[in-house]
A = this chain, B = another copy of it.
Amino acid sequence: MSKPLLQMALDATDIDTALASVEHVANQLDIIEVGTILAFAHGVESVSILRKKYPDHIIVCDMKITDASAILSRLAMEAGANWVTVSAAAHIETIRAAKKVTDEFNGEVQIELYGHWTLEDAKAWVDMGITQAIYHRSRDAELAGVSWTEADLEKMHKLSELGIELSITGGIVPEDLHLFKHLSAKAFIAGRALAGENGCEIAETFHSEIGKHW
């Protein structure tokens, strides 16, 4: 299993704040995410700006595409994204159309696991060549004030078994990483934690925990 990557989600409502938030920690990141908020606030130009500034990072545009995937994926890819996110609620043909476009650019689709998705859905995604999904800490866990529930971990294991690599997010802290050591973890996604004053230190802790468990 390859080492999980570190991803920072940029969710500012203006591009300058977003750029400022990533600058000090960019060297320690593998993946920069143009979050849905930034993508709507400043448009896909956000992706172009980040691509210009960070030519070597993986850039993901978190559009959570639900429909019109061919056009939206192309917008993201032409702006310089490597990956684009598509909602689990999208029709299977919508996902297929996104994959077709991202393939053209040697890009990838990540499925955003929202709504009542099923393992049958996940199998259909895998059957068409999807290899990545994004797992969010459940709201129930968040509302109950717990970090990750057994139910979350079980679902993640089932997805891993199907061959889906997971990017894991939702108030994730370095101390939680050991929970995922038996999973096929593609990346850990943090946002505000990395944007703060201690961002570099926190990024280092992420990397050292990753080194410890993978």
When distances are taken between beta carbons in the complex, the residues of chain B under 8 Å from A71 are 11, 13, 37
Kindly list chain B residues whose C-beta atoms are within 8 Å of the C-beta of A114: 66-67, 87, 89-91, 115
Residue from B40, B63, B89 within 8 A of A72 (CB atoms): B40
Report copies per complex: 2
Q: Which residue of B lies closest to A136 (CB)?
A: B67
CA distance A108 to B116 in the complex (A): 24
A128 interfacial by beta-carbon distance below 8 Å: no
Within 8 A of B (CB), among A129-156: 136, 139, 143
- Within the complex, the shortest CB–CB distance from A55 to chain B, in Å, comes to 22
Residue pair B139, A91 in contact (C-beta under 8 Å): yes
Q: For the side of the interface on A, what is the size category?
A: 35 or more
Residues 36-92 of A contacting B (Cβ, < 8 Å): 36-37, 39-45, 63-64, 66-68, 71-72, 75, 87-91
How many angstroms from the CA of A63 to the CA of B87 in the assembled complex?
13
> A99-132, CB under 8 A of B: which get 1 and which 0?
0000000000000101111100000000000000
Residue contact B41 to A41, C-beta cutoff 8 Å: no
Q: Let me know if A197 is at the binding interface, CB within 8 A.
A: no
A93 interface residue, CB < 8 Å from B?
Answer: yes
Could you tell me if B93 and A143 are in contact, using CB atoms closer than 8 angstroms? yes
Assembled-state Cα–Cα distance A42/B40 (Å) = 8
A68 shortest CB reach to chain B, Å: 6
Contact B87 A66 (CB under 8 A): yes
Bound-state CA distance A34–B89 (Å) is: 21
Q: How far is the CB of A47 from chain B (nearest CB, A)?
A: 10
Query: Lowest 7 A-B CB distances belong to which pairs?
Result: A89-B115, A89-B89, A43-B43, A116-B116, A115-B115, A89-B114, A64-B66
